[in-house]
Structures are given as structure tokens and as C-alpha cells.
């Protein structure tokens, strides 16, 4: 089961999420369309849309999108961002509790940085029930990547996390992108509802000032739920470490693995 307490923290930062989180690469959407064969105005269902980070790019292409969002504040942000697109609608609900209209069918069910928060005993069966035979489920995330030569800032700041007992206990440094098996494809197959049609990895980098990086950290569930004194100490250390750099910036790499499944 997912930690409901943590998944509900994102609603507290609804107004900051859209600008603080990175956009997904254009190539990811190109791969999504190539692997599914979808073309506008196909009807898509998004699970956990947040403020519309992955909704807007597809709405701009002309897709009709029904988006489900647990957080009321995030759903309100998504409605505001989608106001110019008549084919978009946002429903405030968890995916588990949402009751689709009788006979509802979608050409694609997808989730961006949200699928891990949905109850695994429900999500695959429910997604399959909303798709025609051969319809697609697409899932991707955006996580911290550590390619060879990654910014040494992260080794320095990891010591602070460990001192605060906020590290996860994993060996340092983490493996590079692709260094560990991806569990999502195995989950698709194990569900009995989907076969994997393909996977694609995308790695990209962004530069951050101290305040931009702190704004990003403020959208992560672990940091939102962190004790205020610990969080304030951590952010002081971020500012201190970057203040010692000539340009005051860090480079963070991101990795997103797109997994597309076909309904069995």
C-alpha cells in the first residue's frame, strides 16, 4: 500500500509545483505517440495530473483529456492551466475512489510521476477496465539521476541529510541511469492485465540557483513532511555550499523512464 500521508502532502505546494518541477522532454512525448500510435483528438485519461505538468503538452497537441487529481488545490491549478482547452476536464478524486461513467472508455490511460502513489491492488485492473482491447497504459516518472561526473554538490549535501538522519541508507554514490532494473515493466507483466509494448529512458540536466533548488525541494513529499528545524538547517547548507561557487549554481540531472503497456 502507498503512504497516503505522503501522497497528500503535494496539495500544500500546489501554487509552486508547476514552475518548480522540470518540464518533461519533448522526446518523451514523441516516444509516447510513436509507441501507442495515438493521434489527436483521441481521448486520454490522466491519473494524478497535479497542476497539469504533463497535461498541458498533450492538450496543446489537440488531445481530449480527462484528468483525475486527489488534491483540491492541485486540481484547481490544473483547471486554471487547462481553461483554454475545451477538451480538458479535471475531476477532484483519487483514482481508486473515482467512479467513471458507465461504459467509459479511453484510448490511453497515463500517469506522470504519480503511478507509484496509486494502490497497486487496484490500479492495473482499473486502468485495463477503462481501455479497449489493445489499448495502452503509459507511465513515467522523473527522478534524480547520477551519471558519471555528476555535480559534487550532491555528495556534499548528502552528508547533511545523513547528519539529520534523513538519508535513506542506500550506498553512495547511487548507480548511474540504467544501473538498476526498472520495476515498472515487471509490474506491468505481473499484473496480468498488460504486456509491455516498450520502454524508453530520457536523461537531461537543469541548472539551479540556491533559491530555485530550494523551491524544487519544497515540492518533494519527504521535504514537505520534514521537521521544520531540520528543513531550515538543510536549506541553510544548500545556500552556504552554493554561495561558495562563482556562479552560485548547481547542475541536477533528471531521468525519466517511459513504460508503455498494451492491454492483454
Query: Residues with Cβ < 8 Å from 50, sequence gap 6 or more?
Result: 10, 17, 18, 69, 71, 74, 77, 78, 113, 114
pTM given for the model: 0.93
Using alpha carbons, select from 114, 96, 140 the residue that is nearest to residue 260: 140
User: Strand, helix or coil at 260?
Assistant: strand
Cα gap 237→50, rounded to integer Å = 29
Q: From first to last of its 264 residues, what are the pLDDT tens digits of the chain?
A: 445 555 667 887 888 999 999 999 999 999 999 999 999 999 999 999 999 999 999 999 999 999 999 999 999 999 999 999 999 999 999 999 999 999 999 999 999 999 999 999 999 999 999 999 999 999 999 999 999 999 999 999 999 999 999 998 899 999 999 887 889 999 999 999 999 999 999 999 999 999 999 999 999 989 999 999 999 999 999 999 999 999 999 999 999 999 999 999
For residue 47, the cross-strand partners are 68
Burial call 89-101: b when 16+ CB within 10 Å, e when fewer: ebbbebbeeeeee
H-assigned helices in the chain: 4-7, 14-20, 26-36, 55-60, 72-81, 123-129, 153-163, 183-191, 210-217, 221-224, 228-243
Q: Which CATH architecture has domain 4-145+177-205+254-263?
A: 3-Layer(aba) Sandwich (3.40)
pLDDT of residue 1: 41
pLDDT of residue 15: 86
Radius of gyration of the chain (CA): 19
All structural domains of the chain with their residue ranges: 4-145+177-205+254-263
Amino acid at each position: 500500500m502507498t503512504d497516503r500521508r505522503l501522497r497528500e502532502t503535494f496539495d500544500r505546494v500546489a501554487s509552486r509545483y508547476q514552475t518548480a518541477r522540470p518540464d518533461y522532454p519533448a522526446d518523451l512525448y514523441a516516444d509516447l505517440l510513436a509507441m501507442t500510435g495515438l493521434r489527436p483528438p483521441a481521448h486520454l485519461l490522466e491519473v494524478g495530473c497535479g497542476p497539469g505538468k504533463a497535461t498541458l503538452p498533450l492538450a496543446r497537441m489537440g488531445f481530449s483529456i480527462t484528468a483525475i487529481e486527489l488534491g483540491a488545490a492541485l486540481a484547481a491549478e490544473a483547471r486554471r492551466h487547462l481553461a483554454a482547452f475545451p477538451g480538458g476536464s479535471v475531476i477532484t478524486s483519487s483514482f481508486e475512489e473515482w467512479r467513471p461513467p458507465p461504459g467509459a472508455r479511453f484510448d490511453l490511460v497515463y500517469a506522470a510521476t504519480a503511478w507509484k502513489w496509486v494502490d497497486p491492488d487496484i490500479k492495473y485492473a482499473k486502468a485495463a477496465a477503462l481501455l479497449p482491447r489493445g489499448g495502452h497504459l503509459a507511465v513515467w516518472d522523473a527522478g534524480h539521476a547520477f551519471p558519471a561526473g555528476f555535480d559534487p554538490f550532491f555528495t556534499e549535501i548528502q552528508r547533511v541529510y545523513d547528519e539529520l538522519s534523513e538519508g535513506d541508507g542506500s550506498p553512495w554514490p547511487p548507480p548511474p541511469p540504467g544501473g538498476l532494473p526498472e520495476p515498472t515493466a515487471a509490474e506491468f507483466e505481473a499484473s496480468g492485465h498488460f504486456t509491455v509494448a516498450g520502454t524508453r529512458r530520457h536523461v537531461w540536466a537543469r541548472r539551479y540557483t540556491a533559491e530555485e533548488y530550494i523551491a524544487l525541494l519544497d515540492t518533494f513529499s519527504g521535504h514537505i513532511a520534514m521537521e521544520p528545524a531540520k528543513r531550515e538547517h538543510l536549506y541553510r547548507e544548500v545556500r552556504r555550499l552554493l554561495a561558495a561557487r562563482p556562479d552560485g549554481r548547481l547542475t541536477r540531472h533528471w531521468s525519466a523512464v517511459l513504460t508503455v503497456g498494451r492491454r492483454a
